[in-house]
Structure 1
Amino acid sequence: MKFLACLRLTALCLTLLSSNLVIAQIPKSLDSLETYVQTHPPTDTNYVNALLRLGNLTTKTKANYDRADSLLRVAEKVASKLNFGRGIYQANTFLGSNYYLLGRGQQTLEYLQKALAIAEANKLSPRILANAMTNLGTAYRNLNQQEKALDISLRSLRMQEQYNIQPRNENTYMGIGHALKETKRPREAIGYFQQALVLNRNLKYPYGMAISEQNIGRCYDDLDQYDKALAYYRIAGKHAKESESELLQADILVNTGLVLRKSKRLEEAKRSIEQALVLNKKQESKGAMATDYFNLGQVYEELKDYKLAEQNMKKALALANELKDNTKIAIYTQGLADVYGGMKDFQQAYVFQLERNQRMDSTTTVRTSAEVQRMVAKYETEKKEAQIKLLQQQAKLNQQERERIQFRTNVFIAGSVLLLLLGASVSAWLLNRSRFQRLEEAQKLRKQIAHDLHDEVGSTLSSISILSGHTDTLLRQNRPGMDTSETAQRLVQKIYTDARQILESIDEIIWTINPGNDSLHRIALRLQEYAQPLMESKGVECSFQIDPALGDAPISMEVRRSLYLIGKEAINNLIKYSGATQATVRFERKNDQLQVMIQDNGRGFDPAQLSERTGQSSMKQRAEAMGGSLDVQSAPGQGTRLQLVINP
């Protein structure tokens, strides 16, 4: 939930840009500005500037986006008639800011690209051009195009340095800091946020100081340094009050509450989120109110006050349904299922869990049985990962013990499912054909997990056992004239390598079966996490591009696993054999198809001469099993291009 508060807070930085363009004689308060625009004719640039300031303040202090949008469009029209380039530029900038706050990323990008083009066409000052680049960086970040965001923000900073623009635009430093934070480099980001803070202090601008301090706090939060995060949040809160921005105060209070919750200071967390809720009610911001109610519900859940947790989460769900926000609806529905589980009301827990699954996968409900198993295990044993732990234990037990535990597990699952069905008064499900299909799918999932553990872990464990015994024998013999220590050292190194391989294999198996990873976007992020350290270790400059259109589109476990293994094999081949210095990995969605492209500038090869070491035949078989196709284009000395196309 912190993401929503951070999104709104980041967008607020955008509304500050170019405010210095407004002529000083224009009123500053909302009421006086309303009077000014109603009593002055739309015949000069002062009228345009008054409309721009009024639209900006309407967004910042009232969060009335429709009213602000109307004012800014009138300002753009009048500025165009007057051929007032700065006014046209600023109107598009503030329109982009409004769309950012409303969560419309593509429209935000279009308006801010238009603003930059207007600034360049009208040959506006270097300061305005630098501001426009900074704004555009914010739009790119919103679409998760972090490389573009960082590139254009650095261009803005270089322009400011080239023309010695003073004072520097603090939002440029903020943009660079945000891009670094989003790419999991919070320590580097802190330095840029601190530079923005210094600039805002010099300007004696409490609103900007509050935003800078809040972002520093968020970085310390990411680093799990909660005391430092709280210190910055509290200072930011004081400056937000000075700026009289209730919207900003609410953002800071929410983040404060979330950190207090992580620190297990639950009563303080509750008070902080309640204060944010009061402010958001005044602003009539339903999306923010929904977030506050849900966060309060989670705090009450940790306090074991399940009734209040239920009440708050129901309010959050009602607002999300009113807003038709499917992402929030899925999250809040899962939250209610967890609360009812804590209350031991398994009938309601089952109902909400089933609803959540139906929303996450509208085409099939075969995962319902597996989710029920996960839920029962959690609520009866109070261990969220009981099934995974059970499978890990099975890998260490002998065959007879595994069969006994499997039998007991099946009896427990069958009994628990029966109890849920009886409690829910749906005994008819026992005779329903779809129930047997779901049970069959759950059994298939367990067999797949067991098969993966046997293939990936069993043989390696046997190898470790044999090597350990041999190493022990060598060390006990210690015969004169034999270099046993060197041999033992090699065996120990082999044991270490095999153990790491087991850990990686188990990690991949757990990631594969986790329903939370059932989306194209999560697969792309997983491959990026796998590829980046390998690329850096070999000095390969890698551009990793993820199409925002991927979103959180669901995908089956089998397709997700095959897609990940193909990408992993291709990346390994690139690292081992290509000798490349540059590589590009792109995930994009076109015409309801997922297209994955991996390209390098390496030495290339002749595709007609298939090599088992590159695993091309295996990758193509996996692609065909998914109903897709794999195309490999390469030639000696011309690099390699691999393209995978599937219908997810």
Structure 2
Amino acid sequence: MRYWLLVFLSSFGLLSGQVPKTADSLKVYLATKPQDSNYVQALNEMAFLKVQEGKYDEVPKIIAQIETLTKKIKWNSGYYKAMNMRGIVEYSQQKPEKAMVYFLEAEKLIVKYKLPDKLYQNSLNNIMIIYNDMGNREKATEYAKKLIDFQEKKKLSPMKSAPYSQFGANLKFYKKYDEALVYFNKALAIEKELNSDWGIAIYENDIGNLYDDQEKYPEAMAHFKNGLAHAEKSSYKLLQTDLLINLARVQRFSSQFNAAEKNLFKAEKICHELEVTEPFKVLYQSLGSLYQQQKRYLEAERYFLKSLAIAKEMEKPEPLFTINHQLSELMQEMGKYKEAYQYLTASNVARDEIYKLETAQTTEDLLRKYEAEKKEQRIKSLAAKNKISALEVKDATRQKWFLIVGLGFLVVVALLIFRQSRIQKKNNELLQNLNTELDQANKVKARFLGILNHDLKSPLSNLIGFLHLQREDPELLDNRTRREMQDKTIASAEDLLESMEDLLLWSKGEMDFTPQTKPVKLAWVFDDLQKHFSHVGHAKITFENPGNIQWQTDEHYLKTILRNLTANAVNALNGTENAQVTIKADGKTLKVSDNGPGADDAAFKALYDPNETLGIGTGLGLHIIRDMAAAIGCEVSVRSEKGVGTTFTLTFP
């Protein structure tokens, strides 16, 4: 979805035949042509090419030229293009929130200068797509409806198919298949009106998947076949492989094994022509599934192993999980239980690394745990109350009988009353303690849920945005850009997983989990930090004197503390020239230093004050550092000087 957006943003409004699109021809154009509105268009196109090449630092200068020339020639659409391009730069660097600020400002410029309806149509479309990538389904749907109403009211041509697809995807998500089909068909009709074979192929593929989800295989097969015909007509080979694999899948479910095999081999041939690697993983796994269903086990194993080899080269957890899991099932069918166990173990390891599954499952488990603890506390409180009530009834009965016996037993009755008072007091204290525990559990739950909402929702939306892009518009990514986006996505996913790990460790501390101490070599910890921050480009991270230093501590707590300190240092260095982070060990001390702008004492209040509220304003990282350092008996101190930098010192016992 992202590169569909960027290409449209760049090319919209260009006057066909007047402004070139290649880098060399644009250079010639800008060096020879008069500085008019077409010249602004050419600058806009050049800026977009720089974005595609990942040369983001060169774009601001071009944007400044656009704004200067726009003001000179008084062509108001240029202001929109400049603001729009700023959004493109942020969005290309996986910063959808910052991009949204610029796109909303661009929308205001359209209204302010009464710019053409086509620009407004384009703006609504872009904002809708970004909201969807950010995971804000409600706002994305709101803008989709706004765009549909606008372009239908204005009778704009061509109409955008994306808002209809947005409604369809929403309805499919909630399993409202009939209603989803209506909107997918509307999107398909728009592409048909445009005679866009590749657009038709994309939506035929979506509709086929919709029927596949409902196990309506004949209908799914018909749409996959039609989509394949249009993909072949448009020479959209990468989409052809997707459609061939999807078609083969429903043919396999319909026991059309020969046809499925033929389509998969056809997809294999195309993949060889394109010299792509990753599609082979799904292709070979599909062939393995086809042969497994026919009980042709040796052929199934051969193709599954091919798929596994490619999955290992990809170094992504999800492909490793699916193929290892399927190999485990195949080995069970073949009676090879030892191999089945080995593949099952490998699939479980890969599954643990899948950030999306890990986050969703862990969150759900923790919520259930908190709810269970809450119910348990309530049960304990009720039990204590019932116990007190039972004692009161029992003692009241005793008093009644003693009074009947007579005044002679007044002394005994007085003693029993005194005893009852003591028992009631103890039970009241027990009840108070239980209520205190319940209140603390509720506070921990509220803090934890607040952290989850703040620290996980936005990164997940960014990652899901790129996955949508790969699924819906893969042809718009060249090999270099795809690798860059994949690297960024992997780094983002790994950071998210580490953040989740930090959250879990922090929650363990809140629930009185005890650190597991063992001898930990500092060199191991430094290696972990170096790998974890290998993607950092704007700051140099230096490690000093790990030597053979070894401490008796909890390895995971120490890693989490250092990751947070290093991440804080790296973030503080944004915009700093010759940015450096130094991590130095000396005896029982460990220092993390940066040459950033520094900060006052208030910025580190959460590190020392246990009563500081946990939230966005105080920073989760300092709370994690404070709580985990206390758990392993480590003393934390900080020295920060504005204009000089900040140093955190860890002192171990």
In the superposition, the TM-score normalised over structure 1's length comes to: 0.49
In the superposition, the TM-score normalised over structure 2's length comes to: 0.49
- Computing the radius of gyration from Cα coordinates, the structure with the larger value is 2
Q: Relative contact order, CA 8 A, sep 6+: which one is greater? A: 2
